[in-house]
Amino acid sequence: MIDWTRVEELRSEIGGDGLSEIVELFLDEVEGVMMRLLSAPDVATLEQDLHFLKGSAWNLGFVGFGAICQDGERRAAAGRGAEVDLRAVADCYAGSKSAFMAGLAARGAQVHSAA
């Protein structure tokens, strides 16, 4: 679900404080997009929203969440946006976020999630 090697690479590149800032920004931006997708999905922007979520997810090591977003992005690009299960995307994000935060805590990282 989480690529911890990617997380550690990122931490070594930008430091612990930088990682904390990236995580907080990620959570804020991703949760904003997820709320919009669940409350008022727009087929016209679905592909680009899922592309954004995929890239953000993979940048931070959320491999499972990135993969489900990639699948949805491909469906939307093919004109099959109605087939994208946004509840499954949200559930995958929630599970990934939980695993990520628990993994960070186990590694002694201090990240304050506003969400």
- What digits encode the pLDDT tens for the residues 40-94? 989 999 999 999 999 999 999 999 999 999 999 999 999 999 899 999 999 999 9
The pLDDT tens digits for 15-39 are 999 999 999 999 999 999 999 999 9
Q: Is 79 helix (H, G, I), strand (E, B) or coil?
A: coil
Contact 30, 56 (CB under 8 A): yes
Residue 111: the pLDDT is 59
The candidate with the shortest Cα–Cα distance to 91, out of 54, 38, 49, is 38
pTM of the model as a whole: 0.89
Q: Which two tokens stand for residue 42?
A: 């727009």
| Residue ranges of domains in the chain | 4-106
The residue with greater pLDDT, 113 or 34, is 34
Q: What pLDDT, on a 0 to 100 scale, did the predictor assign at position 110? A: 59
Is residue 33 within 8 Å of residue 53, measured between CB atoms? Answer: yes
User: In the 8-state DSSP scheme, what is residue 83?
Assistant: G
Chain Cα centroid distance, residue 86: 13
**Among candidate residues 23, 20, 52, 55, the one with its CA nearest the CA of residue 36:** 52
